Amino acid sequence: MNNLPSINVTYQRVLDLIRQSYFAVFPVALIYALGQYLINRYIPFTPATTLFSVLNISLQLIYASLLFCLAMEVIYQRYYQLPLNYLNILRKSLERCGPFLLSMLLLFLPTLLMAALLFSLHFFFKFPTEGQIMSTGFELMILIVIINIIGFVYASVSAVFIINQNMKMIDGIKQSYILIKEYWFNTFFLLLTLGVVIWLLAWLFTLLVGRGILSQALVGFFILPLWPALMVVHCYHLQHPENVAT
Query: What does each of the 246 residues of the chain score in pLDDT, given as a tens digit?
Result: 568 899 999 999 999 999 999 999 999 999 999 999 999 888 887 766 567 777 888 899 999 999 999 999 999 999 999 988 889 999 999 999 999 999 988 887 776 676 666 666 655 655 555 455 445 556 666 777 788 888 899 999 999 999 999 999 999 999 999 999 999 999 999 999 999 999 999 999 988 888 888 898 999 999 999 999 999 999 999 998 877 666
- 153 CB neighbour count, 10 Å cutoff: 22
State pLDDT tens for residues 92-142.
999 999 999 999 888 877 766 766 666 666 556 555 554 554 455 566 667
pLDDT at 138: 62
Task: Give the whole-angstrom CA distance, residue 35 versus residue 94.
Answer: 17
pLDDT at 237: 95
The conformation of residue 90, written as its DSSP 8-state character, comes to H
Residue 180: exposed, middle, or buried by beta-carbon count in 10 A (0-12, 13-18, 19+)? buried
pLDDT at 88: 92
Determine which helix (DSSP H) or strand (DSSP E) holds 105, and give its type and residue range: helix 86-107
pLDDT at 209: 85
Task: Give the whole-angstrom CA distance, residue 23 versus residue 179.
Answer: 31
